[in-house]
Amino acid sequence: MRVFSSSVSVPLPPAQLALVLPCYHPPLSWAGNILTSLAKLEALLPPATTVHLYVVNDGTETGVTPADIALLTQALPGAFTYLAYPLNQGKGHALRTGIARVREPYCIFTDIDFPYQETSVAALYALLQTGADVAVGVRDDGYYAQIPPARRRVSRLLRRLTKHVLRLPVDDTQCGLKGFNEAGRRLFLRTTTKRYLFDLELLFLAARQGSLRVLPLAVELKPNVVFSRLNPRILLTESLNFIRILGRRLEQE
């Protein structure tokens, strides 16, 4: 599959942090919102920390305009890379596409609407700097109070299965805020799940490898975040992916 990319080449010091955002049917004013959130984040990072933004268009047909890309390109000279391909492949595929291009020593990914507080993103970066190979955001009870009942039931069921069946070190695998160093990045690129359970697969691989330091971090969601409805077809596909990952777990016993 051909991937189109664009970036501006301006001599700048190498960035320390890559921020990778998959993009599919983004909300209105998403590009401006990213710039606002990025400015808040940079104010919380250690002095002189540079950030390179990667946006991966996962085959979306609406919501991404040339004006959006121009805005980010002009606001982030030499620190913005845009990747795109024509057909929707899923969040896991989009993140692997972006993360494969990362050259910065640390990498964090989240969603295109930047739903987590900038303080949580900065704390995740600090955790990586202190030795975590994979830093995993963990949602608190406040998160579950904000989401639709169906999504709440699925999320809690998955956490129970992760803890008691797969026996992973972190039971909240689906938080949309994670980061890693180079060792964690290499492991992430070994995942194959195209859509939503890629992070479960990542943590499963990390547990199986055993040598990586995986650390959880309590993170806070921004108020008034809008959640999409669960698609039954995607839920079925992800259930099959869970069974596939569970099969790998049983092969170890």
Q: What is the pLDDT of residue 170?
A: 82
- Give per-residue pLDDT as tens, 172-196: 888 899 999 999 999 999 998 888 7
- Give per-residue pLDDT as tens, 210-243: 899 999 999 999 987 766 555 555 555 655 666 5
- Give per-residue pLDDT as tens, 135-173: 999 987 666 566 666 666 766 777 777 666 667 778 788
Give the residue among 188, 219, 189, 46 at the shortest CA–CA distance from 130. Answer: 46
Average pLDDT over residues 82-103: 96
pTM as predicted: 0.84
Whether residue 248 contacts residue 204, with contact meaning beta carbons closer than 8 Å, is answered with: yes
pLDDT: which is higher, 103 or 253: 103
pLDDT: which is higher, 122 or 168: 122
**Residue 38 vs residues 189, 224, 238: alpha-carbon distances, Å:** 25, 19, 31
Average pLDDT over residues 101-127: 97
Q: What is the pLDDT of residue 210?
A: 87
CATH number for the region 4-251 comes to: 3.90.550.10
Neighbours of 48 (CB within 10 A): 7
- Distance between CA atoms of residues 129 and 127, nearest Å: 5
Mean pLDDT across the chain, nearest whole number? Answer: 85
Please list the helix, strand and coil fractions of the chain in percent, rounded to the nearest 5, in that order: 45, 20, 40
Whether residue 158 contacts residue 106, with contact meaning beta carbons closer than 8 Å, is answered with: no
Which residues, at least 6 apart from 158, have a Cβ–Cβ distance to it below 8 Å?
A: 173, 174, 200, 242
Give the residue among 129, 173, 153 at the shortest CA–CA distance from 235. Answer: 153
**Residue 250 vs residues 166, 171, 236, 243: alpha-carbon distances, Å:** 9, 18, 21, 10
Q: What is the pLDDT of residue 242?
A: 63
Where do the domains of the chain lie?
Answer: 4-251
Average pLDDT over residues 104-129: 97
Residue 10: pLDDT above 50?
A: no
Q: Beginning with the edge strand found earlier in the chain, give each strand of the sheet holding 134-139 in spatial order.
A: 4-7, 80-85, 51-58, 17-23, 106-109, 178-180, 134-139, 214-219
Whether residue 170 contacts residue 206, with contact meaning beta carbons closer than 8 Å, is answered with: no
Q: What percent of the chain has pLDDT over 90?
A: 59
